[in-house]
Amino acid sequence: MSLPYMNKWTKTLSLFLLLGLSMFQVVLAQDNSDGAETDEKKPEKKPSGQVLDKIIAKVDNYIILESDLQKAYLEASSQAQQGFEVPTKCQVFESLLINKMMMAKAEIDSVIVSDAEVIIQTDQRFNMVLQQFGGDEEMLIENYGKTGDQLKSEIQDAVKEQLVVGKMQGVITEGLQVSPNDVRKFYNSIPKDSLPFFSSEVVVGQIVKKPEVSQVQKDKVYNQLAEIKAKILSGESDFATMARQYSEGPSGPQGGDLGFFKRGELAPEYEATAFELKQGEISDPVETVFGIHLIQLLERRGNTFNSRHILIRPTPSEEDILKAERELDSLRQEIVNGNIEFAKAAKENSDDRETSDAGGFFTDPSTGSNRLTSRTLEDPILFFTLDSMEIGDITPTIRFDDVDQRGQSEPGVRILYYKNRYPAHRANISDDYEKLKEAARRKKEEEILANWFVLAKEEVFIDIDPAYDNCNVLAEK
């Protein structure tokens, strides 16, 4: 939502908030573009001695390279194509400077994040990238021009900066609240002819039932993993090869290697088994909420351990799915008959964590609102299903592929509830209170950050390349 209160400075701060969410994409975007040249059109090599990059700003011990600015500008411009205003390069530069000031001030104020948190998120994001190439590190090297370790190091730097800046921003804006009076004042401050025009929106809920896998299906996996273990012990194959071939976990492409974890960081059943193993020993199949594992202990250091595993997830049979459909259809009848409200039924029965806490309703992750536009309603099947429904309708049970946060797909059944539709309209306080509240909160947050910037720039050393003096990034706001 573009609102008229946004002056040059608040646009810069909005850009800072936006780029803060996409530093990981910035790293990958540039790496990918560097390796994207075809054989037919490769760039000419620069003459020896020519400067390929340079420092354009320093903030205490932190630097901004010209290539950093180019990467961030490309990312911000791509975001602009998705509905955000196209930024100037000076605004992007200023947002990067705020980022480094946050890092420097976090160091001064002892605002830190744990190494474990950084490592876990780095591994997750690296595995997401590697999975795009089917776990083939050679393809990753060909695409990015860097080894897995080099790319992981860059991702780790971006992840750490993102976490520290996010935590510092939370410290700066701690205690920020927006009252109904603040929302009214904000709304009344906008000229009526400048109020934004909103697209039509819908409110949609779902109740999901994930089929419970029968013991018969689980036994098939137990037997498969037992056979895999036998092949490893007999020397017919090795653990890493079998992990790459059979494991359904994100670590499969790395031979199942999970790296070091502390006690309490992994599934209890997994940890209990791993701590009972001797170094190099392979467990019998172990079941956790993630599936069934074959575990090998690689090394143990006190309360930390390094292990690798082969994970296979049992899949529900047709009878398992039919059973889930019958249970969900019975719940649907209870809702239709008025014996229970949809939201209560969703909270108590839905197997989808992302929607169940919100009474089963889909929400826009950027605003938390349950009113979705066609742009934020990402599921195309859901979009076309609604097209054939009337407001108040609840569908019969529908089979679908449920994709979890790890990107893993599993069969599920669900019912959809079309609660409401809001036609396209100009913003007003009765229909758009939550949107206006979010905009008012954002304005307050930007005012707090602007005041922080004025004070912080006197507490850190800042040096800017003369070529960027025209950006006036240190001028009074």
**Residue 275: alpha-carbon gap to chain centroid:** 31
Q: Which CATH number fits domain 215-312: 3.10.129.10, 3.10.50.40, 3.40.50.970, 3.30.1300.10?
A: 3.10.50.40
pTM above 0.85, yes or no: no
Query: In degrees, to the nearest 5, what angle opens at C-alpha 378 toward C-alphas 134 and 396?
Result: 105
Dihedral angle of Cα 265, 269, 271, 276, to the nearest 10 degrees: 170
Query: For position 46, what pLDDT does the model report?
Result: 42
DSSP 467: G
Distance separating alpha carbons of residues 55 and 62, to the nearest angstrom: 10
Query: For position 71, what pLDDT does the model report?
Result: 86
Distance separating alpha carbons of residues 163 and 113, to the nearest angstrom: 7
Cβ–Cβ under 8 Å, residues 204 and 372: yes
Cβ–Cβ under 8 Å, residues 363 and 419: no
SS3 call for 105: helix
Question: How long, in residues, is the chain?
Answer: 477
Burial pattern 406-418, b for ≥16 Cβ within 10 A else e, equals: eeeeebbbbbbbb
DSSP 476: -
Query: For position 37, what pLDDT does the model report?
Result: 38
Q: What does the block give as tokens for 381?
A: 């099947």
Which sequence spans correspond to the domains of the chain?
A: 8-38+51-193+429-471, 200-212+317-423, 215-312
Query: For position 465, what pLDDT does the model report?
Result: 94
The tally of CA atoms less than 13 A away on the side-chain side of residue 318 is 0
Cβ–Cβ under 8 Å, residues 202 and 418: yes
**Which amino acid is residue 172, in one-letter code?**
I
Neighbours of 49 (CB within 10 A): 5
**Which amino acid is residue 229, in one-letter code?**
K
Would you say the CATH fold of 215-312 matches that of 200-212+317-423?
Answer: yes
Which residue's structure tokens are 């420092």?
Answer: 55
What kind of architecture, by CATH, is found in domain 200-212+317-423? Roll (3.10)
Residue-by-residue pLDDT tens, the chain, 477 positions = 444 444 444 555 555 555 554 555 555 554 554 433 333 333 344 444 444 689 999 999 999 999 989 988 888 777 655 445 678 899 889 889 988 999 999 999 999 998 888 888 888 888 778 777 766 777 878 888 888 888 888 889 889 988 999 999 999 999 999 999 999 999 999 999 889 888 899 999 999 999 999 999 999 999 999 999 999 999 999 999 999 999 998 889 889 999 888 888 889 999 999 999 999 999 999 999 889 999 999 999 888 899 999 999 999 999 999 999 999 999 999 999 999 999 999 999 999 988 999 999 999 877 788 988 877 777 778 888 988 999 999 999 999 987 765 556 789 999 999 999 999 999 999 989 988 998 899 899 988 988 998 899 899 999 999 999 999 887 765
What topology does CATH give the domain 8-38+51-193+429-471?
Triger factor/SurA peptide-binding fold (1.10.4030)
